[in-house]
Structure 1
Amino acid sequence: MRKKWMPEKKHVVGTRPELPAGVVKSAGRVLQILEYFDETQRPANVVEIAEMLRLPQSSTSALLRSLVAMGYLYFDRMARTYIPSCRVALLGNWVNSPLFMGGVVLQCMEDLRERTGDAVTLAIQQGVWSQYIHVLQATSLARLQLTRGALRPVAASGTGFALLSTLSDAEVRKLAHRINAEARTGAVAAVEVDPLLAVLADVRRQGYAFTTDLVTPGGAVLAMALPVTDGDRALVLGLGGISEVLKKRKAELVAIMKSTIAEHFPALG
């Protein structure tokens, strides 16, 4: 008799962000479902997906049935689980950007995870946030699971510091004014401009940002900007792990990360 599949329990760092204002909820939730499958890379049942979306099971079931009917998901009636079809894989195969061209960025991430055992994130700036647009989970025993789509304050996070280090001081000051304006609504925390610029000067000098317990208690991030962009937006790679572990391995990880990036971008590194 076939065993019923049960979701694996994992400690996840970083909550899945709420849908931005103005987004049609049904459309946003469909994309969140597809992103969740890409993140976990395994079948999932309606209970797990409903919990992820913070939705009633009835609403989640309706969304999943629609995706099955359109051919984007397969439904295993025996195991009562869903998994994406090849139609999902074909959706973006026409995209021609530095992120996907030849797979160099993704291959760099794969090699970095293999060499360190830590979680690897790819981040871009989204307004006043740094967002993880791609995540490879750690393979080491001492690990944290990061969340694709997670948002971090761009002026108060490891990947955010690395992103801002690619901007001029004038651009950073302008962004800081925007952050402080939004802080009045409680959406983000205010930032002091001069201390931020001092941090970014250190990041530019060192070639990396390293933060511990800044956003996630017990979590650390080592982040470096890539020598390529997606259009006009900077791309940053981050290694995420447990603070005490990464602090002890900091020099080793910095060397591995710099050499891995230089290896994949020899003409630019």
Structure 2
Amino acid sequence: MDVERTGVVEPSGVRSSGVRSSGMQSVDRVAAVLLSFTGADAELGVTDIAERLVLPKSAVHRVLEALTAWGLVAKEHERGKYRLGPRATELSLAALGSVDVRALALPVMEELRDLTGETVTLSFVLGSHRVYVAQVESRQDVRMTIEVGRRAPLYAGASGRAILMTFSTAELERYLSQTVLTPLTERTVHDDRQLRDLLDVDRARGYTESLGERDPYAAAVAAPITARNNPRAFACFSVCGPTARLGDEVRRSCGPAVVDAARKVSEMLRGSW
């Protein structure tokens, strides 16, 4: 039997030194490369992954090309970086159970879109990030659209903070100790104390607002979605649109509607899960 010593760094960070078959080694490499994207970095290059896993760049590149072909990762051609693809999102949704949350949420999203006139998105938590899993686009000529499967950090923008606002004190402190609040725009909140203060305001009113924090031309209002008796959100709704249209008063008027939509889905899930 063909055997070879693997140099893949396991998820625990311990380098495996056992003798494994070439077939098993290939599976190890694919799994290790895929799991690399569950860390803090949303986008990784071949060199980044090769150094982390102690693998040849050629081997990493072959794995990434195969994962790209299956839609489990996607390549950002301008920067040469890779990120999780839409099929990886399908796996995360399947892991949540038999309930199709997107199908359950769609009628509520359409109702919220018709009420606000803006695009409505559904995001799920994925590690230290969130990922867009569905959207219902605004019918207006100028509107916001998102790419399903794209990840974003929790600290930047209304959707991410809608999830962070449900963290316990210990969970939030652990998140902050492990996360660098890198500014995405001039308006991104990147100070720990300022973020904590903002989350206190968010919790008091039940929803979050953002204006140009993740995208300089986008504004949003978001609310958390929970299931069962777990107070920590696994998902959120957002209403998003151009900053020129979603001013302070409009965002405040959208807040209760987004909260109500998130509550409806949360209640439906509690009866299903």
Q: CA deviation at 1:197?
A: 1.4
Aligned equivalent of 2:71: 31
Structure with greater contact order relative to length (CA < 8 Å, sep ≥ 6): 1
Q: Deviations over 1:27-55 (max 9, x none)?
A: 2343269x9xxxxxxxxxxxxxxxx8639
Aligned equivalent of 1:260: 261
Closer/same/farther in 2, CA of residues 128 and 93 from structure 1, 3 Å limit: closer
- In the alignment, the residues of structure 1 paired with residue 126 and residue 265 of structure 2 have an alpha-carbon distance, to the nearest angstrom, of 25
Aligned equivalent of 2:203: 204
Aligned equivalent of 1:74: none
Contact 2:223–2:262, Cα closer than 8 Å, also in 1? no
Alignment of 1:38-117 (within 5 A): 54=77, 97=97, 100=100, 103-117=103-117
Contact 1:135–1:146, Cα closer than 8 Å, also in 2? yes
Q: Deviations over 1:4-23 (max 9, x none)?
A: xxxxxxxxxxxxx7468476
Aligned equivalent of 2:194: 195
Q: CA deviation at 1:108?
A: 1.8
Secondary structure, aligned partner of 1:160: helix
TM-score, normalisation: structure 1: 0.59
Contact 1:123–1:235, Cα closer than 8 Å, also in 2? yes
Q: CA deviation at 1:216?
A: 0.6
User: How high is the sequence identity, in percent, across the aligned residues?
Assistant: 19
* One-letter amino acid of the counterpart of residue 226, structure 1: I
* One-letter amino acid of the counterpart of residue 65, structure 2: K
- In the alignment, the residues of structure 1 paired with residue 208 and residue 96 of structure 2 have an alpha-carbon distance, to the nearest angstrom, of 29
- In the alignment, the residues of structure 2 paired with residue 163 and residue 249 of structure 1 have an alpha-carbon distance, to the nearest angstrom, of 22
- In the alignment, the residues of structure 2 paired with residue 127 and residue 164 of structure 1 have an alpha-carbon distance, to the nearest angstrom, of 12
- In the alignment, the residues of structure 1 paired with residue 102 and residue 145 of structure 2 have an alpha-carbon distance, to the nearest angstrom, of 27
Give the RMSD, CA atoms, in angstroms. 3.7
Contact 2:238–2:258, Cα closer than 8 Å, also in 1? no
Secondary structure, aligned partner of 1:166: coil
Contact 1:223–1:239, Cα closer than 8 Å, also in 2? yes
- In the alignment, the residues of structure 2 paired with residue 224 and residue 125 of structure 1 have an alpha-carbon distance, to the nearest angstrom, of 13
Closer/same/farther in 2, CA of residues 152 and 102 from structure 1, 3 Å limit: closer
Closer/same/farther in 2, CA of residues 217 and 102 from structure 1, 3 Å limit: closer
Aligned equivalent of 2:146: 146
- In the alignment, the residues of structure 2 paired with residue 102 and residue 214 of structure 1 have an alpha-carbon distance, to the nearest angstrom, of 26
Closer/same/farther in 2, CA of residues 29 and 224 from structure 1, 3 Å limit: farther
Closer/same/farther in 2, CA of residues 137 and 205 from structure 1, 3 Å limit: same
Secondary structure, aligned partner of 1:105: helix
Contact 2:220–2:240, Cα closer than 8 Å, also in 1? yes
* One-letter amino acid of the counterpart of residue 113, structure 1: R
- In the alignment, the residues of structure 1 paired with residue 253 and residue 199 of structure 2 have an alpha-carbon distance, to the nearest angstrom, of 22
- In the alignment, the residues of structure 2 paired with residue 191 and residue 174 of structure 1 have an alpha-carbon distance, to the nearest angstrom, of 16
Q: How many residues align?
A: 193
Contact 2:236–2:262, Cα closer than 8 Å, also in 1? no
Aligned equivalent of 1:177: 177
- In the alignment, the residues of structure 2 paired with residue 244 and residue 150 of structure 1 have an alpha-carbon distance, to the nearest angstrom, of 24
Gaps of 5+ in 1: 1-16, 36-51, 56-90, 184-188
Gaps of 5+ in 2: 1-41, 50-59, 79-90, 183-187
- In the alignment, the residues of structure 1 paired with residue 102 and residue 221 of structure 2 have an alpha-carbon distance, to the nearest angstrom, of 25
- In the alignment, the residues of structure 2 paired with residue 154 and residue 225 of structure 1 have an alpha-carbon distance, to the nearest angstrom, of 12
Closer/same/farther in 2, CA of residues 169 and 252 from structure 1, 3 Å limit: same
Q: CA deviation at 1:245?
A: 1.0
Spell out structure 1 runs of 4+ moving beyond 6 A: 91-96
Aligned equivalent of 1:244: 244
Contact 1:99–1:106, Cα closer than 8 Å, also in 2? no
Contact 2:156–2:189, Cα closer than 8 Å, also in 1? no
- In the alignment, the residues of structure 1 paired with residue 266 and residue 127 of structure 2 have an alpha-carbon distance, to the nearest angstrom, of 27
Kindly indicate whether residue 225 of structure 2 is the aligned counterpart of residue 226 of structure 1: yes
Q: Deviations over 1:96-128 (max 9, x none)?
A: 737516932232222222322211111123333
